[in-house]
């Protein structure tokens, strides 16, 4: 494992165990048993990322800035070790006449990207406080990279479904997928929230957050029971806007919400219970777009932060813009925007795990846009627009959701109207998309879906069910199964 990664873990654990939570670099280096220059290099990065601060003068040194329970191994892996698996691969040459030599580098790139994604996911479920428990000889609370519980097993996978429902009805459903057969069943239901149309689960699978999509919007925070997955409400807070439709977490203690009808975004700090507290920032978007019927005002449709928590990207369907915000000061400071074609209507956005490219799905002109992505400056540069429907389709269509395959080789988008899932192949060097293929049948207004290694789960809003499709990991191809789960107006699938 990357030495800077392990040094960073050691430094933070060492500072935490000190009563004053403070030491100079020489004292820390003595504990790490390495040269002080290496420790200072790591500490400088930890300071830049706000994990430690410095105190000047006599008795000064480095101070721990966050409690261990707020730092995961995944956070440190992203900073110090991402790319370490791939950096050592130097075999082969694209110019070689030998087929093995010319193709082995891109083939291994695909494999190692997938390996890094899984390793990062594993680390993201382990807090430094759990590493400290192991050091102290106590039983860890994690297993297999997630909080220890009895609800997810190798042959079963749990997920939550959000839906449009009245407060008196079950609007959030805990469901189970059989990883072998594809069969589905509902385990529990949660009422007490109106229209929980979008859900997000935190990295250690202990908290769930849900929007209440209505004219007086709200965000609900829940504790996830580690034995059976049932939800206990912790808090409810207003978004101070109308129709929140998207939530995301940045992994460093903030929750973000996008409000469609009122056209603004929120940043919430999580309290000691892990519940959304008072907003740290609210930003109102202003203006209008090309289409009078759908773009008469700003309509913030999603907000997604990068892996490091540096920038957050907002798709504003009403403005034909993706606006990105600097998160460094704990606020939402405008850093830039990228203009989409008039009438595009950007809806959802994602960043490829290679951190060189990003993608947006556009609801109003049925396209997916490919961007070159600069993770340091946050900039986006448009590279390509790809249609989400076949050229001979003449009906109305409104793309909705966008996902990558676990290995990053395929992009999938949902079409409402054409009622399909489009699969596009990713060129891992250029980020460009090609070879579109459509899966139709047993799909009815697919507002949201989830892509797994061997299955795709589709929330059919107008079909009142979750449909199960088998996925070929090698080709990305989808095949319908007979398995379906009847649920009223399902519109969000969130894996546990």
Q: pLDDT (tens digit, 9 = 90+) per residue, 434-485? A: 999 999 999 999 999 999 999 999 999 999 999 999 999 999 999 999 999 9
Whether residue 265 sits in one domain with residue 139: no
474 vs 23, which has greater pLDDT? 474
pLDDT value for 150: 46
Whether residue 158 sits in one domain with residue 210: yes
Q: Which of 126, 143, 160 is the last residue of a domain?
A: 143
Given a cut of 70, is residue 90 above it in pLDDT? no
DSSP letter for 331, please: S
Least confident of 14-23, 167-176, 260-269, 270-279: 14-23
Whether residue 245 sits in one domain with residue 119: no
Whether residue 270 sits in one domain with residue 245: yes
DSSP letter for 376, please: T
Dist. CA 190–CA 186, nearest whole Å: 11
For 205-220, the pLDDT digits (tens) are 899 999 999 999 999 9
103 vs 475, which has greater pLDDT? 475
For 350-409, the pLDDT digits (tens) are 999 889 999 999 999 999 999 999 999 999 999 999 999 999 999 999 999 999 999 999
Q: How confident is the model at residue 138 (pLDDT cuts 50, 70, 90)?
A: low
Dist. CA 259–CA 323, nearest whole Å: 14
Q: Which of 109, 143, 177 is the last residue of a domain?
A: 143
Whether residue 197 sits in one domain with residue 133: no
Domain range for 8 is 3-143
Q: How confident is the model at residue 120 (pLDDT cuts 50, 70, 90)?
A: confident
Dist. CA 282–CA 272, nearest whole Å: 21
pLDDT value for 216: 97
For 303-359, the pLDDT digits (tens) are 999 988 899 999 999 999 999 999 988 999 999 999 999 999 999 999 998 899 999
Whether residue 198 sits in one domain with residue 216: yes
Q: pLDDT over 90 for what percent of the chain? A: 65
Bridge-based pairing state of the strands 357-362 and 346-351:
antiparallel
pLDDT value for 93: 58
Q: Three-state SS for 184?
A: strand
Given a cut of 90, is residue 31 above it in pLDDT? no
Whether residue 202 sits in one domain with residue 112: no
Dist. CA 260–CA 440, nearest whole Å: 29
Mean of per-residue pLDDT scores for the chain = 90
Whether residue 163 sits in one domain with residue 135: no
Whether residue 445 sits in one domain with residue 320: yes
Structure tokens at 331: 């606020």
pLDDT value for 472: 95
107 vs 149, which has greater pLDDT? 107
pLDDT value for 97: 62
Dist. CA 194–CA 293, nearest whole Å: 27
Number of domains in the chain: 2
pLDDT value for 326: 96
What backbone torsions phi and psi does residue 447 show, to the nearest 5 degrees? Answer: -75, -30
pLDDT value for 23: 85
Q: How confident is the model at residue 147 (pLDDT cuts 50, 70, 90)?
A: very low
Whether residue 92 sits in one domain with residue 60: yes
For 224-241, the pLDDT digits (tens) are 998 889 999 999 999 999
Whether residue 216 sits in one domain with residue 104: no
Given a cut of 60, is residue 91 above it in pLDDT? no
Q: What is the pTM of this model?
A: 0.74
DSSP letter for 134, please: H
Q: Which of 143, 171, 189 is the last residue of a domain?
A: 143
Contact 126, 415 (CB under 8 A): no
Q: Which residues of 241-252 are buried (b: 16+ CB within 10 A; e: fewer)?
A: bbbbbbbbbbbb
pLDDT value for 95: 61
Whether residue 65 sits in one domain with residue 130: yes
Task: Beginning with the edge strand found earlier in the chain, give each strand of the sheet holding 465-471 in spatial order.
Answer: 446-451, 455-460, 465-471, 478-486
Q: Give the closest residue to 67 by CA, choosing from 139, 119, 13, 144.
A: 13
Q: pLDDT over 70 for what percent of the chain? A: 89
Handedness of CA 290, 294, 298, 302 (dihedral sign): negative
Given a cut of 50, is residue 149 above it in pLDDT? no
pLDDT value for 80: 87
CATH of the domain at 113: 1.10.10.10
pLDDT value for 423: 98
Contact 250, 313 (CB under 8 A): no
CATH of the domain at 183: 2.130.10.10
Given a cut of 80, is residue 114 above it in pLDDT? no
What beta strand segments (E) does 51-196 contain? 52-55, 61-64, 142-143, 146-147, 156-163, 172-178, 184-190
Least confident of 31-45, 187-201, 268-282: 31-45
pLDDT value for 145: 41
Q: Give the closest residue to 391 by CA, choosing from 342, 436, 427.
A: 436
Contact 315, 302 (CB under 8 A): yes
pLDDT value for 143: 47
Helices assigned H by DSSP within 125-219: 128-135
């Amino acid at each position: 494992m990357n030495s800077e990664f392990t040094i960073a873990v050691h430094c933070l654990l060492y500072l935490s165990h000190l009563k004053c939570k403070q030491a100079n670099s020489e004292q820390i280096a003595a504990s790490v048993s390495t040269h002080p220059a290496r420790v200072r290099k790591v500490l400088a990065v930890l300071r830049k990322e706000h994990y430690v601060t410095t105190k000047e003068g006599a008795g000064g040194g480095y101070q721990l800035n966050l409690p261990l329970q707020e730092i995961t191994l995944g956070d440190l892996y992203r900073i110090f070790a991402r790319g370490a698996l791939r950096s050592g691969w130097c075999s082969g040459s694209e110019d070689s006449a030998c087929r093995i030599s010319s193709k082995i580098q891109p083939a291994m790139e695909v494999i190692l990207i997938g390996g890094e994604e899984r390793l990062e996911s594993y680390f993201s479920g382990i807090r430094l406080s759990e590493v400290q428990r192991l050091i102290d000889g106590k039983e860890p609370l994690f297993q297999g990279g997630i909080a220890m519980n009895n609800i997810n097993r190798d042959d079963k996978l749990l997920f939550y479904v959000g839906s449009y429902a009245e407060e008196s009805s079950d609007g959030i459903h805990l469901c189970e997928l059989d990883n072998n057969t594809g069969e589905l069943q509902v385990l529990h239901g949660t009422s007490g929230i109106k229209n929980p149309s979008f859900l997000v689960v935190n990295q250690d699978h202990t908290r769930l957050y849900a929007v209440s999509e209505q004219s007086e919007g709200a965000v609900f925070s829940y504790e996830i029971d580690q034995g059976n997955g049932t939800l206990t409400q912790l808090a409810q807070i207003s978004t101070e806007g109308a129709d929140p439709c998207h939530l995301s977490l940045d992994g460093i203690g903030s929750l973000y919400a996008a409000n469609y009808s009122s056209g603004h975004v929120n940043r919430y700090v999580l309290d000691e219970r892990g519940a959304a507290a008072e907003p740290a920032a609210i930003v109102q978007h202003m203006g209008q777009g090309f289409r009078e019927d759908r773009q008469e005002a700003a309509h913030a449709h999603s907000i997604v932060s990068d892996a490091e928590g540096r920038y957050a990207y907002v798709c504003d369907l009403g403005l034909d813009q993706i606006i990105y915000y600097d998160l460094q000061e704990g606020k939402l400071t405008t850093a830039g925007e990228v203009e989409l074609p008039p009438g595009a209507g950007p809806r959802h956005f994602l960043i490829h795990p290679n951190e060189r490219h990003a993608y947006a799905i556009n609801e109003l002109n049925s396209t997916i846009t490919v961007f070159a992505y600069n993770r340091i400056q946050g900039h986006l540069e448009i590279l390509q627009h790809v249609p989400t429907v076949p050229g001979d389709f003449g009906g109305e269509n409104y793309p909705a959701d966008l996902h990558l395959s676990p290995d990053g080789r395929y992009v999938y988008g949902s079409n409402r109207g054409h009622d399909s899932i489009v699969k596009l192949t990713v060129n891992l060097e250029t980020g460009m998309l090609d070879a579109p293929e459509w899966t139709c049948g047993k799909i009815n207004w697919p507002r949201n879906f989830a892509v797994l290694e061997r299955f795709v789960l589709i929330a059919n809003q107008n079909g009142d069910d979750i449909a199960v499709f088998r996925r070929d990991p090698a080709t990305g191809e989808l095949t319908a199964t007979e398995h379906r789960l009847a649920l009223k107006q399902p519109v969000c699938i969130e894996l546990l």
